[in-house]
């Protein structure tokens, strides 16, 4: 049972991260002690302090496991060849993000923790700074897409790309937050897609 080869250590590390996810979700980040995480993972605090510097470091590591995929996906989508359809691309991308939230339990859990189970102040700050940076980066890219949409004549004349960007960002943020807080209140795949269609339909040049 106590063999501790290199691979075993990685298993332990993952077990700690999984346990942290469960306990953070159930009790909130600040109220969970490393002792509770250790017990949930079937190890002692010694193991946690071996793999991570402290709770903040453990928290950051937990985020890293799920943070990368979506941004990469977005970039890949943008570079997808063929005729340009930035509006359609954005709508599809946002829909995909919502679907992902419903499909992947790990992804969903981490985002519940990020948005409703921790505080944006104090020790965890480095993790949040990182998140804000990613958000700013995405905002720039989305605004560029809207500018391109306007040049292609996809947008109704009254639509300002910057405002459209802020609105879409806020809408997505709000959907995440409200649905994660009360997932039973509606179906995020169908209703989420409907909300996006409603928004993008309002932006398009052709009335229908």
Q: What residues line the site for DNA (CB under 7 A)?
A: 2-6, 8-9, 12-13, 33-36, 38, 43-47, 49-51, 54-55
DSSP 19-88: HHHHHHHHH-TTT--HHHHHHHHTS-HHHHHHH-SSHHHHHHHHHHHHHHHHHHHHHHHHH--SS--HHH
Instruction: Determine, following the binding rule CB under 8 A, whether residue 71 of this chain makes contact with a second copy.
Output: no
Q: Which residue in 116, 126, 137, 153 binds a second copy (CB under 8 A)? A: 116
Nearest to 98 by CA among 192, 195, 181: 192
Minimum distance from CB of 17 to DNA (Å)? 12
Interface with a second copy, residue 147, by CB under 8 A: no
Question: Is the Cβ of residue 71 or residue 125 nearer to a second copy in the bound state?
Answer: 125
Contact partner at residue 78 from DNA, a second copy, none, CB < 5 to 8 Å by partner kind: none
Note whether 171 and 142 are within 8 A (CB). no
Q: Any bridge partners for residue 204, and if so which?
A: 155
Which residues contact a second copy (rule: CB under 8 A)? Answer: 26-31, 116-123, 132, 156, 158-160, 163-164, 166-167, 169-175, 177-178, 181-182, 186, 191, 194-195, 198-199, 201-203, 207-208
């Amino acid at each position: 049972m106590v063999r501790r080869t290199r691979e075993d250590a990685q298993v332990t590390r993952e077990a700690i991260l999984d346990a942290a996810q469960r306990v953070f979700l159930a009790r909130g980040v600040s109220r969970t002690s490393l002792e509770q995480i250790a017990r949930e993972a079937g190890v002692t605090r010694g193991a946690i302090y071996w793999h991570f510097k402290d709770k903040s470091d453990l928290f950051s590591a937990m985020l890293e496991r799920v943070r990368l995929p979506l941004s990469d996906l977005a970039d890949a989508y943008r570079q997808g060849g063929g005729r340009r359809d930035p509006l359609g691309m954005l709508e599809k991308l946002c829909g995909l993000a919502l679907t992902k939230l419903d499909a992947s339990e790990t992804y969903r859990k981490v985002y519940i923790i990020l948005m409703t189970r921790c505080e944006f102040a104090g020790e965890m700050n480095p993790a949040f700074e990182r998140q804000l940076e990613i958000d700013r980066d995405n905002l720039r890219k989305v605004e560029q897409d809207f500018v391109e949409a306007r040049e292609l004549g996809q947008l109704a004349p009254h639509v300002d790309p910057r405002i459209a960007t802020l609105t879409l960002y806020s809408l997505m943020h709000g959907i995440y937050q409200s649905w994660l807080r009360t997932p039973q209140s509606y179906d995020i795949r169908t209703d989420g897609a409907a909300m996006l269609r409603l928004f993008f339909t309002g932006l398009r040049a052709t009335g229908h």
